[in-house]
Amino acid sequence: MPYEVPRGAELSERLANVLQVIYLIFNEGYSATTGDDWMRPALCEEALRLGRILAELAPEEPEVHGLVALMEIQASRTHARVSASGEPILMLEQNRALWDQLLIHRGLAALTRAEELSRAMGSFGPYTLHAAIAACHARALTADATDWPRITALYSALAYVAPSPIVELNRAVAVSMAEGPAAGLVIIDAIADDPALKSYHLLPSVRGDLLRKLGRTSEARAEFERAAALTQNTRERDLLLARAAACGLTRA
């Protein structure tokens, strides 16, 4: 049977599913959920390949360009995200000179296209908003130069367009950077009992980081240990246990 490109409402529905699958592939490559490696670059490359093809097939769809922009910008950090021996390096600690400027340039160009199309349609979708957040990091020459108030505003917009506890968790991180860890912790504690986050290791990981910044090291250590018990990725578990041990060294 010949393949026919769907049209109208059917295209929108099927396109959303395709975008979701491509992003799931990318995410599994960017932060592997299981195994001994924190990244699986081949999956990121395949997701980018599919996204670029899709952008050629659907050039007037803003969210296609938004997803491509997001993946290009995130992929630009690949060589800075792991040490020579494979240990994870968190974004604020990465050597930004290792970020791939070609991928950033491509990502920003795709974001511009996504934003132009979104304005013409009168609304911004979640992938375009995610890409705009990633662009804030890409444009900052140093971690200290990051525009956290803008990132906070973008997460608020994202929470309106596509509300979820994970978006709230990310918003809490942005708020903590813009307004201080106590402000972020208020948001975290408001969603801590959400069933969707019950087994999500990044909830205690983020909470542990905020508690550490507030000097509540004993509580922070317990949260890092809980996060380590939840993750199934060996590299990430080691990182979280190391952060827990560091809290023990600084315990009052």
Q: Extract the tokens encoding 244.
A: 């827990």
Tokens 């246990």 sit on residue: 241
**pLDDT of 216 strictly over 50:** yes
Tokens 């922009």 sit on residue: 69
Phi-psi region of 238 (alpha: psi -120 to 50; beta: other; left: phi over 0): alpha
CB 68 within 8 A of CB 52: yes
Find the mean pLDDT for residues 180-206: 97
Find the mean pLDDT for residues 20-49: 95
Q: Extract the tokens encoding 248.
A: 């023990």
Find the mean pLDDT for residues 235-247: 96
Find the mean pLDDT for residues 73-102: 95
**pLDDT of 252 strictly over 50:** no
Which residues, at least 6 apart from 57, have a Cβ–Cβ distance to it below 8 Å? Answer: 5
What DSSP string describes 148-189?
Answer: HHHHHHHHHHHHHHS--HHHHHHHHHHHHHHH-HHHHHHHHH
The per-residue pLDDT for 14 is 85
The per-residue pLDDT for 251 is 47
The per-residue pLDDT for 104 is 98
Please give the model's pTM, rounded to 2 decimal places: 0.92
State pLDDT tens for residues 128-163. Answer: 999 999 999 999 999 999 999 999 999 999 999 999
Q: What is the dihedral of CA 224, 226, 231, 234, to 10 degrees?
A: 60
Q: Which helix (H) or strand (E) holds 30?
A: helix 8-30
**pLDDT of 56 strictly over 90:** yes
21 vs 17: CA distance, rounded Å: 6
Q: Extract the tokens encoding 66.
A: 């938004």
Question: Which amino acid does the sequence have at 121?
Answer: M
68 vs 110: CA distance, rounded Å: 7
Find the mean pLDDT for residues 43-71: 97
Which residues, at least 6 apart from 77, have a Cβ–Cβ distance to it below 8 Å? Answer: 91, 94, 98, 99, 100
**pLDDT of 9 strictly over 80:** no
